[in-house]
Amino acid sequence: MSYINEALRKVQKEKESGYVAYKSIVSAPGKELNRPSKWSSIIGLLTVLFFATGIIVLIYWLEYKKMPAKAPQQSAPLAIVIPAEPQPVNEMPAESTRVPVLKTKKAPPEIKVEPEKVDAKTLYAQALKKQKEGNLVKARNLYRKVLKIDPQNIQALNNLGVIHMKNKDYKKAIMRFNDAINIKHDYTDAHYNLACLYAQKDDVPQSLFYLKNAVRFNPEVRKWAGNDGDLRVMADLPEFKKLLEKK
């Protein structure tokens, strides 16, 4: 730009110098003025302007050459827009949206099927069989089951007393025999078994007492007593002999 300014100043100075030259010329009276032609001034001005323009163009061309070459501008690749799949719109707000819970029906209460009640007579037959086989534990348990079904079963009470007596558990045996007698006071078997129990305990008076009851309720007891080893302890007693005599 400094070259341009200098060129303009030069043109301005030349223009001013021309005016000064004209002012210094004073026409004398009666003499014709010696003036430069109008076309010469115009041509000179155009020459200066042309020269100035060339300088300006030259300056711009030199500045352009000094500038670094710019890399060709690459256009950015066009982005490929993939349309998003439409999403379902919830009718209810997110806060009130509830996840459905599969409700399972409650299973009906289990129906407990009770085992068929075994007849007391059947259990008694099984217990009696085990007793005769010598399986006293099994027989005892079966008699107890019978009594749970039928607490008034005097045969089961009597036979359970016999098992306790064989096991020398006299206290329990007496209780079972008395239970049977309380249900049926003239139950012969219970009286007779008490007579045998007290004979084993050497309690002769108690043994004779229950033996007399048994004979009174059933005279056939005399035959049982004559052959029963539990009653041998009283074999020599006159009262025992008299009790066994037939009337």
Per-residue tokens: 94:
């997110």
In Å, how far are 178, 185, 187, 213 from 217, measured between CA atoms? 16, 10, 8, 6
Instruction: pLDDT tens for the chain, 247 residues: list them.
Output: 555 566 566 656 665 555 444 444 344 444 444 455 666 778 877 887 877 787 887 777 777 666 655 544 554 444 444 444 444 444 444 444 454 444 445 555 554 534 445 699 999 999 999 999 999 999 999 999 999 999 999 999 999 999 999 999 999 999 999 999 999 999 999 999 999 999 999 999 999 999 999 999 999 999 999 889 999 999 999 999 999 887 6
From the CB of residue 36, how many other CB atoms can be counted at a distance below 10 Å?
A: 11
Report the half-sphere exposure of 79 (CA within 13 A, side-chain side). 3
Query: Distance (Å, rounded) from C-alpha 109 to C-alpha 160?
Result: 41
Sign of CA pseudo-dihedral 183, 184, 189, 191: positive
Query: Distance (Å, rounded) from C-alpha 226 to C-alpha 235?
Result: 8
Query: Dmax of the chain from CA atoms?
Result: 222
Set out the domains of the chain in order of their start, with CATH numbers: 115-185 (1.25.40.10), 186-247 (no CATH)
Check: CB of residue 187 under 8 Å from CB of residue 180. Answer: yes
